[in-house]
Structure 1
Amino acid sequence: MKIEAMNWMQVEAYLQQDDRCVVPLGSTEQHGFMSLAVDNILPERLADEVAGPLGVPVFPTLNYGITPYFRAYPGSVTLRVQTYLSVVRDVLDSLYEQGFRRILIVNGHGGNSPAQGFAGEWSADHPGAQVLFHNWWNAPRTWQEVQRIDPVASHASWMENFPWTRLPGVTLPDTQKPMADLDRLRLLSPAQLRQTLGDGNYGGLYQRSDEDMLALWAVAVQETAGLLQHGWAPAVQDRSEPLT
């Protein structure tokens, strides 16, 4: 359940029985014709759908991420890598101090990848704790479903265009945009990237049917739920099970 629906006394009582929580990571950045908050909307919704039925707390999404390459697109906001990792460290330290030991990070933005390496380092420095860093969109089963539906898919294309990330009154192109050269894009300045990329879609159709999107979402929910329930190393004590 979302932490906004709990008070501190309820969290304290929860920690007597379980030590899991979920922290979504996102980014505020251009997504073509879709919301600038796509990378916040998706991990937060996914975390809530997965953790809610289990009564596991979901903390507020970190809505700003590492996205310097999109600075030429108005509305895109980036943090420096050092700043970002400091914030992630402080969040994890706070949760650990209070008794959380199994922390699932549901990440919605590829640019936040430095935090994945940091999560492993942090876990190594905190015996008895474990952080699972989950890039929901390219996790094995979810990415397999993307490929099954349409292998031409990338940032700001159909694969992020769910009913809850679309904007009312916005008409999308009905064409399939050729895939951008990702290696070349990485060499460009923000202004050059915007000039090259145009509307922000890296490649693929702009929208597919709701049937396709709900099928993809169902796989993502199931895969993420499996991690939250069964993805922990045996060495981490499972307080969600009755003690004997």
Structure 2
Amino acid sequence: MKIADMNWMQVEARVADDDRCVLPIGSVEQHAYLSLCVDMILSEKVAVDAAAPLGVPVYPAVPFGLTPYFADFPGTVTLRLSTYVALIEDILESLYRTGFRRIVVVNGHGGNGPIQGLFKEWVARRQDARIKFHEWWKAPRTWARTMAIDPAASHASWMESFPWTRVAGAVAPDAAKPQVDMARLQTANPAEVRAIIGDGNFHGRYQRPDSDMLALWQVAVEETRAVIETGWP
């Protein structure tokens, strides 16, 4: 259930009965021939699809995250770590004030990982609250399905090319890209990163049949739903 489809009175009634909510987080960054907003699109959609049968409210995805290494690609937006921590903490405080105590953060961008430090500190202060940090694309079942389809899967490759992340008029190469030099990438500045990775894909095919993608998506939705629904203390 999208928060966008609820009014404040409905939220008040819902939280009195069920204190769970979902906060998707993503990034606006280069994804080769795909949308710059891949990470926020996918985190929000998997959260909405997963939560729908449960009636758990899903907030709009926080679009911007931590992606300084892609800063030289036009369209990319990156926040300072201090800005991001302050932003997410303010959101958590607002959710807590509303009455939400069990929060699932569905992450769509690997670079956002450092935010987990904030979650541990926040729960130490708000000891009646719980946060689950779910990186949907590399959760065990979803990642296993990805590897079963094609182990050559990476940033901006086929594994992120869903019908809802493709850009009209952008034709991706019908080929498999060789793996870029990941060791060089680890120490590169933004200009060097752009030179190393070229179009943005790290390696692998740019697109696979939609039948593969929809099967993968189904696993991701089911796995995310289980995180929302079960395993709370």
**TM-score bracket for the superposition, by shorter chain length:** over 0.9
- Displacement after TM superposition at 1:181 (Å): 2.8
- Displacement after TM superposition at 1:202 (Å): 0.7
Deviation digits for residues 70-128 of structure 1 (CA, Å, limit 9, x no counterpart): 11100000000111011111111111122100000000000100112322232232212
The yes-or-no answer on 1:4 pairing with 2:18 is no
2:184 maps to a residue whose letter is R
The yes-or-no answer on 1:127 pairing with 2:137 is no
Counterpart residue number, 2:55: 55
1:56 maps to a residue whose letter is V
- Displacement after TM superposition at 1:218 (Å): 0.6
Q: What's the secondary structure of 2:22's corresponding residue?
A: strand
State whether residues 181 and 196 of structure 2, in contact with CA within 8 Å, keep that contact through their aligned partners in structure 1: no
Q: What's the secondary structure of 1:184's corresponding residue?
A: helix
2:136 maps to a residue whose letter is W
Counterpart residue number, 2:196: 196
1:1-244 correspondence runs (5 A): 1-233=1-233
Unpaired runs of at least 5, structure 2: none
How high is the TM-score relative to the length of structure 1? 0.93
| Distance in 1 between residues matched to 2:181 and 2:117, nearest whole Å | 26
2:130 maps to a residue whose letter is Q
Which one has the bigger helix percentage? 2
| Distance in 2 between residues matched to 1:114 and 1:159, nearest whole Å | 23
How high is the TM-score relative to the length of structure 2? 0.97
| Distance in 1 between residues matched to 2:67 and 2:178, nearest whole Å | 22
Q: What's the secondary structure of 1:196's corresponding residue?
A: helix
1:222 maps to a residue whose letter is E
- Displacement after TM superposition at 1:40 (Å): 0.9
| Distance in 2 between residues matched to 1:231 and 1:201, nearest whole Å | 36
State whether residues 34 and 166 of structure 2, in contact with CA within 8 Å, keep that contact through their aligned partners in structure 1: yes
| Distance in 2 between residues matched to 1:141 and 1:69, nearest whole Å | 29
Counterpart residue number, 1:242: none
Runs of 4+ in 1 over 3 A off after TM superposition: none
| Distance in 2 between residues matched to 1:167 and 1:50, nearest whole Å | 24
| Distance in 2 between residues matched to 1:26 and 1:147, nearest whole Å | 23
| Distance in 1 between residues matched to 2:199 and 2:217, nearest whole Å | 25
| Distance in 2 between residues matched to 1:162 and 1:227, nearest whole Å | 22
| Distance in 2 between residues matched to 1:117 and 1:150, nearest whole Å | 33
| Distance in 2 between residues matched to 1:209 and 1:41, nearest whole Å | 20
User: What is the total number of aligned residue pairs between the two structures?
Assistant: 233
Unpaired runs of at least 5, structure 1: 234-244
| Distance in 1 between residues matched to 2:118 and 2:57, nearest whole Å | 22
1:94 maps to a residue whose letter is S
